[in-house]
Amino acid sequence: MQDEEQIVDHAAQGAVDLGNRIAEQNEQANLQDIADGLLSGAIHYWLYTREPCDDPRCPDCAPLRTPEWRLQALQQLVDELARSSEYYESPGDMTPGNA
Ligand SMILES: [Zn+2]
**Residue 99: per-residue pLDDT:** 54
**Residue 96: per-residue pLDDT:** 78
- Ligand 1 mean position to 62 CA, how many Å? 7
CB 34 within 8 Å of CB 22 = yes
**Residue 95: per-residue pLDDT:** 82
- Give domain limits for the chain: 1-49, 53-85
- Ligand 1 mean position to 63 CA, how many Å? 10
Q: Quick one: DSSP state of residue 53?
A: -
- Whole-prediction pTM: 0.86
What is the C-alpha to C-alpha distance for residues 69 and 62, in angstroms, rounded to an integer?
9
Walking along the chain (99 residues) 10 residues at a time, the average pLDDT comes out as 88 97 97 98 98 96 97 98 96 80
- Ligand 1 mean position to 39 CA, how many Å? 26
- Ligand 1 mean position to 98 CA, how many Å? 51
- Ligand 1 mean position to 70 CA, how many Å? 13
**Residue 51: per-residue pLDDT:** 97
